[in-house]
Structure formats: C-alpha cells, structure tokens
Amino acid sequence: MIKKLTCGLLATMVATAALYPTNIMAQDQQPLTMPTLEDLIPGGETYRYTENLYGLQWWGDRCIKPEIDSLFAINPKNGKETLLTTRAKLNEVLEAAQLGKLSQLYSVQTPWPDKTQLLLALHGKYIVYDWKAAKVVAQQAVEKGAANMDYNAESGHIAYTVKNNLYVDNKKVTNEPEGIVCGQSVHRNEFGITKGTFWSPQGNLLAFYRMNESMVTPYPLVDITQRIGTVDAIRYPMAGMTSHKVQVGIYNPTTGNTLYLETGDPTDRYFTNIAWAPDERSLFLIELNRDQNHSKLCQYDAASGRLMGVLYEETHPKYVEPQQPIVFLPWDDTQFIYQSQRDGYNHLYLMSVNNSSPRQLTSGPWLVQSILGFNAKQKEVIIAATKESPLQSNIYKVRVKDGRLTPLDNGQGVHSARLSASGTYVIDNWSSPQVPRNIDIRSTANGKETARLLTAADPFRGLVMPTVETGTLKAADGKTDLYWRMLKPADFDPAKKYPVIVYVYGGPHAQMINANWMYAARGWDLYMANRGYILFTLDNRGSANRGLEFENCTFRHLGIEEGKDQVKGIEYLKSLPYVDAQRIGVHGWSFGGHMTTALMLRYPDVFKVGVAGGPVIDWKFYEVMYGERYMDTPQQNPEGYRECNLRNLAPRLKGHLLLIHDDHDRTCVPQHTLSFLKACVDARTYPDLFIYPTHDHNVLGRDRVHLHEKITRYFEDYL
C-alpha cells in the first residue's frame, strides 16, 4: 500500500524542458533558467542559500537581532524593534582600547539579561562591552593556539585547550604528554558528546574530560602537500582492539586544584552525559560498559570525587544509548529529567536525587528529540518531538505535574526553537515542504505567533525545479511503513521511461526525508532530476526518528536488513510504468557508501551503477564506540563481521562502481576502500576509484562542486 503525498506547490513548477531550457515561460511569464552545480551545491560560487537571520538570540525575554552594522532588540509581544547600538559606535570604543574592530555584529552575544553588556571574541580575546556606557568593562586574553573555547558568563572564566592540554584563563590546568588529551570531546563524539569542558552552573568549578589514548594503535594518514609526504598518525581504536581510557576531572579556578572522579579502572568503559547539580556540589554521569548494554546514572561528590550513588540503571539485550544529560527542574533542585528509550521511544522521565521511582512524563509511538528548557513559573518543560509525524519536528510544552502535552507551533514542518530566559517565548525557525524558512516569535502560553521576523524568499526562484513527492511503502518485514521521496524532472512525461538514481544513507542517527523545505531534497538530487533522472530516497529500517525497534533490527548485521528495505523501494519503482528498470543507479556517502557498495554487490542484477563515497567496507576497520554498539566486537560476532565485510562480496561486482575516498578521512579511514580494491583485484572484478587529497570524510567547500560534477559524469557515462 503506497501513500502519496505530492508537494503541491512544487508540482506546479512544470512545463519546462529539463535539458533545453530556452525561451520556455513559467506561469509568471519569467523565463526559468537551468540551475548549475554552482547554484545548487554548498561551496558553489553562486550557491542559492536560503535567507536566514544570523545571531538571533535572547537577552532575558527580549529577542536580539544582530545585523552587520546594527544591533536591535525586539519586543516579543509585538515584534517592535529598538536599536541598541551600532557597529560604528562599538568599533570606535574597541579601536580606542586597541582591541581591533568587528566586521559584523552577528557573532556578539547577550548572556546577561540584567546588564546592557555584549560578549564578543576578537583577536584571541574575550571582551565584555557595555553598550549603554559605551565602554569595555572586561577583557580576557587566551593563549596562542587556543581552541575549544568555553566561556562561562556567570564567572567570566574561559576554559580552552592548546594542543592536548587544558587551560583556564591564563593558567595551564593539565600538563600531559602527547597521547593524553584533556578538555576535548572523547569517545569519538558518540553518546551525544560534543565537547570536553563543563562549567558548573555558577562557573565555580569546571568538569573536564581527560582521555589517555597512548595505548591506541595509530592509523597513518599521508599528507602529500608537504615537500615530501608526511604522516598524520591518528589514534584510531578499531572494533575489538585496545581502546582509550577516559577520566573526568574537576578543576577549581579559585584554588587551582584538580581532582579526578573515583570511577575505578576506566578500561573499556564510557563516561558520558556530564551534568552538574544546581548546587554545584555533585556531578552526574551516565556510565556504560564496553558492551554498551548496561548504563548507570551515577552521582559523584564534586569535592571528594567519590561516588555518591547509582541513581538508575538500564540494560538491554542489544544496546542502550544514552545521548542526553539529565536536566534539573529549575524550581526543584532535587528533581531532574532523564531521557530513555526504555519503552521503545525516547521519552522523558522525572527522577529524584532521593532515588524515588521514576515517573514517565511523555509516552507514545513518537519520540522526544530535545529539551529546549522550562517555563519555571508554569512548571512546564518545553520540548521538540516527532508527535505529528516521524518526518516532522514540532514544539510542545509538557506540564510536569501530569505530563499534559500542548503543541506550541503550527503543527507543520520542522521547527528549530530557542527558548527565552523565563520560558515564555520561543524564536521558532522553521520550514516545511512549501516554506523555505520562516522565523517567528511565539508565546509558550498559547503557541500563538506574536511576530514574524523573516519570510525567506524561495532560494530557487527563477530556476527550473523538479517536482518532489513523498509516500510510504512496506518494509521487508511486511509491516513497517517506510518513507520515500521522489524527484521527477520538471518536464516529466509519464509516457517516457526514466533512469533512476537512489540516494541512500540508511544508517542510524539520520533520516534523509524530513518535512522541511522540499522534503530535504539535496541540491545534487535537484540537479540530476533536472538532467532527466528520477531521484529516489527511502529511509530504511535502522534509520532515525522511528524508535528503538525500528533502529535495532540491524543489530550484529549492519547493512543486511537495510538493503532488503532498499530493494522494496526498487520493487515499488519497477511497478511504475515510467521507470526504466534496466537503468537504476545508487549513490551514498559514509554509511551510505557502505549501503551503495553493499547494494551493488548483493543485488548485482538490480543496480547498474553505484557511486560510494567514504564507505565502510569492513566493520572491523571502524571505530570501537559506534562499531561495537551495532556489531559487537569481531571476537564476539565473527559471523556478523564476515557477513557484513564487503571484501567478501568483491567477486560479485558486476555493474560500474566508483569508490571515492578522502585521503584524510579520520572517520572512515582509507584502508576501507583500499582493502576493497585489493579484494576486487584478487577477485578479478573492476571497481573505479577517486581520491580527494586533503579532505576529511566528505568533500566540503569549493571542491564539493568538483565532487558532484565527478559523480554526475560517472552516472552520465554508465547509467
């Protein structure tokens, strides 16, 4: 059973010759032009960005809108703008103080609701500027080579790193040799970890990660831009091999003392989701075993580093994956919200440091994506969730007392919101299949739009555009609905036969089809549809936003179920009279590169041409954290590793397969592709290859246009 949700607005963009767009008029009588890759690929010289407002933020409950030359405050009740200051004025003061000058105001911050002060970073200094007094009220320099800057607005302290060591203000906090990294993200950014420093609420203490990776075997990347090539050796723990060891330290800037949490032997353990107690006296971590099937919410005493207690534990026969730190209720220092997929979907649970039993706040076959904050007065938590549709992200308030859920936006599309200090307003930056981007201010009292800050113009106005459709079909399990997206050429003729290119990702943590602008169709998809291809994408089982069971059916054999679902998509395509079943191609990057290669090899009679970017070929070459979560170790799961090792399928290659790898791919090391080439040479099969020197696990910036021209030529030559 196929449901079709044609995107009406886009469907009207028809009646223009895809390849010869001369002198054909659209409804508004303006000639449409055929977009180029430079128009459609980020990094292109004429890339069509969707309009946006940069640097929008809250100053207490007033909205701050920076422009290049002016800084405005907006009254959220009515959208009325007030000029706060100008760049000219600001630069006059900065230059007088010999601090340099700003070239725009987008990056200034207003973290102090009760002060007329801006925070700005300039030439290696953090500067606090009072726009009312028109003077610099504080400045703090950082050491040369500083990175990972983490400024605490309460205390004014700055944590940062220089090379592998941690600094606070001008003091070197750690003094570790190469191989031990402090103050940076650990565990390869899994478990929701994105940084390595965590200020306590008042900024009196700094929790930080210390990772000893000296025992991790380095993988050699070669830098060919040097006079004679040099090695960039990255510590890359591969599945089943010795991994790094992580500790959590607490630094006290007042005393200059550092202590480390007494977690016991850190070997084969993960220390994730650091959160401070509101009183700064204890620190919460979610700890996991290397098997990733047992998590513990632990509370540590910040003064002694001792374990105070384990507040909650979760186990699962496959894996548990904590990705969100706990969040305390602003009106009760003893209660916090813990997020868990224990009922199959990520939901909120109210817990207490006193260890009373958890109370589930949200429930249902949809998931909470994030906590935006609280309205303390109303005792509400504001969240983003997928309740309307797995393709959408909408804003809700949840009454903590009884879990009552109230929608706060228009119920359409994908919303990204920032909550004001009191939690009474949100800045709602959203798009939908028909809306490139709108930015509204909404009241959390009733969800009403109180001001429209931006209505972005169609970035593709004046250009020939394909039509975009979506729908669902049944997965290979015969019961699960899967979402697909299809792009057809603007001059689509149902009497013709079209070649199809499947764009695939297919791995966990991502979804290719969303109800945002044009259903998240990518620029290259649009480009290829304009060239006469049907572009098709299906979010198979294993992908994001559909709950735990949907995701973990792939456990211990990544790529197999995913591939079966993709073939269901192909069966649907083949049922369409206008699809040329002999000309089906596939393209994807990273996990999508794995899928592309796997589909070419497992279904050699279905797919004629594939382009696999940065593919995983053998999960044993992938890293410990992500790899073992889904595959266990090669020692525990030899059959799964064997079955999913695409080298073993090298003899099956029949069509044209182009593998593209970056020579500085730190995520999916070049060994994947190179070892696959060797397997194909051994098997007398004939893939093609391209390497992008100096790039890292994708080709970004200007060269991204080259990449997509390269991919285009391959499909044009062979599909």
Residues that bind its own copies (CB under 8 A): 217-220, 222, 224-225, 227-231, 233, 236, 238, 241, 620-621, 663, 669-671, 674-675, 677-678, 681-682, 684, 686, 688-694, 703, 705-706, 709-710, 713, 717
Active-site residue (options: 340, 590, 594, 661): 590
Tell me how crowded residue 208 is: count the other CB atoms within 10 A of its CB: 28
From residue 50, alpha-carbon distances to 191, 305, 322, 438, 700 in Å are: 31, 48, 34, 10, 18
Give min distance, CB of 464 to its own copies, in A: 23
Angle at 320 between CA 314 and CA 326, to 5 degrees: 70
Q: Between residues 104 and 230, which has the closer beta carbon with respect to its own copies?
A: 230
Q: Least distance (Å) from its own copies to the CB of residue 605?
A: 20
What is the C-alpha to C-alpha distance for residues 268 and 248, in angstroms, rounded to an integer? 15
In sequence order, what are the beta bridge partners of 328? 336
Catalytic residue among 665, 672, 695, 708: 665
Q: Sort 106 into a burial class: Cβ within 10 Å, 0-12 / 13-18 / 19+.
A: middle
Comparing CB distances to its own copies, the nearer of 228 and 495 is 228
* Residue listed under structure tokens 């601090």: 99
Burial classification of residue 591, based on how many CB atoms lie within 10 Å of its CB (0-12 exposed, 13-18 middle, 19 or more buried): buried
User: Nearer to its own copies by C-beta: 342 or 654?
Assistant: 654
Residues 335 and 350: their CA atoms lie apart, in Å, by 7
Q: How far is the CB of 416 from its own copies (least distance, A)?
A: 33
CB of 195 to its own copies, least distance (A): 27
Nearest to 43 by CA among 713, 711, 716, 706: 706
Query: Which amino acid, 597?
Result: T
Question: By the 8 A CB rule, do 426 and 395 touch?
Answer: yes
Side-chain half-sphere exposure of 687, counting CA atoms within 13 A: 34
Contacts of 160 (CB under 8 A, 6+ apart): 142, 143, 146, 147, 148, 149, 150, 166, 167, 168, 183, 197
Residue type, 703: D
Nearer of residues 373 and 610 to its own copies, judged by Cβ: 610
Closest CA to 252 of 212, 214, 305: 305
Question: Which of residues 223 and 313 has its CB atom nearest to its own copies in the complex?
Answer: 223
Give the pairing of strands 579-589 and 498-503: parallel
Q: Which residue has the tokens 């007329």?
A: 116
What is the helix (H) or strand (E) element at residue 612, kind and residue range? strand 609-613
Whole-number Å distance between alpha carbons of 382 and 447: 11
Tell the smallest beta-carbon distance from residue 694 to its own copies (Å): 6
Residues 536 and 575: their CA atoms lie apart, in Å, by 14
- Picking from 672, 495, 476, 659, the residue whose alpha carbon sits closest to that of residue 570 is 476
User: Quick one: which H or E segment has residue 148?
Assistant: strand 146-151
**Smallest distance from the beta carbon of 663 to its own copies, in angstroms?**
7
* Cβ distance to its own copies smaller for residue 557 or 661: 661
Q: Which is nearer to its own copies, 229 or 478 (CB)?
A: 229
What secondary structure letter does DSSP report for 525?
H
**CB proximity list for 631: less than 8 A, separation 6 or greater:** 239, 556, 557, 558, 619, 637, 640, 641, 644
Fill in the DSSP letter of residue 256. Answer: T
Q: How far is the CB of 272 from its own copies (least distance, A)?
A: 25
Q: What are phi and psi of 423, to 5 degrees?
A: 80, 20
- Minimum distance from residue 219 beta carbon to its own copies (Å): 6
At 222, list the tokens: 């070669």
Question: Is 237 in contact with 225 (CB distance < 8 Å)?
Answer: no
Neighbours of 508 (CB within 10 A): 19
CB 530 → its own copies: shortest distance, Å? 20
Find the helix or strand (DSSP H, E) in which 235 lies.
Answer: strand 230-235
Of the two residues 417 and 680, which places its CB atom closer to its own copies in the complex? 680
**Shortest distance, CB of residue 49 to its own copies, whole angstroms?**
21
Query: For residues 355-393, b (16+ Cβ closer than 10 Å) or e, as one string?
Result: eeebeebbeeebbbbbbbbbbeebebbbbbbbbbbbbbb
Q: Whose CA is closest to 620, among 602, 599, 597, 647?
A: 647
590 has catalytic annotation:
yes
- The least CB distance from residue 705 to its own copies, in Å, is 8
Nearest residue (CB) to its own copies, 436 versus 614: 614
To its own copies, the closest distance from the beta carbon of 713 in angstroms equals: 6
Least Cα distance to 166 among 152, 189, 146 occurs for 146
Taking the complex as a whole, the smallest distance from the CB of residue 706 to its own copies amounts, in Å, to 5
Please give the Cα distance from 161 to 207 (Å, whole number): 14
C-beta closer to its own copies: residue 229 or 577: 229
Q: SS3 of 671, please?
A: helix
Nearer to its own copies, 461 or 713 (CB): 713
Task: Identify which of residues 53 and 222 has a Cβ nearer to its own copies in the complex.
Answer: 222
Q: Which is nearer to its own copies, 543 or 673 (CB)?
A: 673
Query: How big is the chain, counted in residues?
Result: 719
Angstrom distances, CA of residue 450 to CA of 62, 80, 357, 426: 13, 10, 40, 10
Query: Among 316, 509, 697, 706, which one carries the catalytic annotation?
Result: 697
Q: Are strands 435-443 and 449-455 parallel, antiparallel or unpaired?
A: antiparallel
Residues with catalytic roles: 590, 665, 697
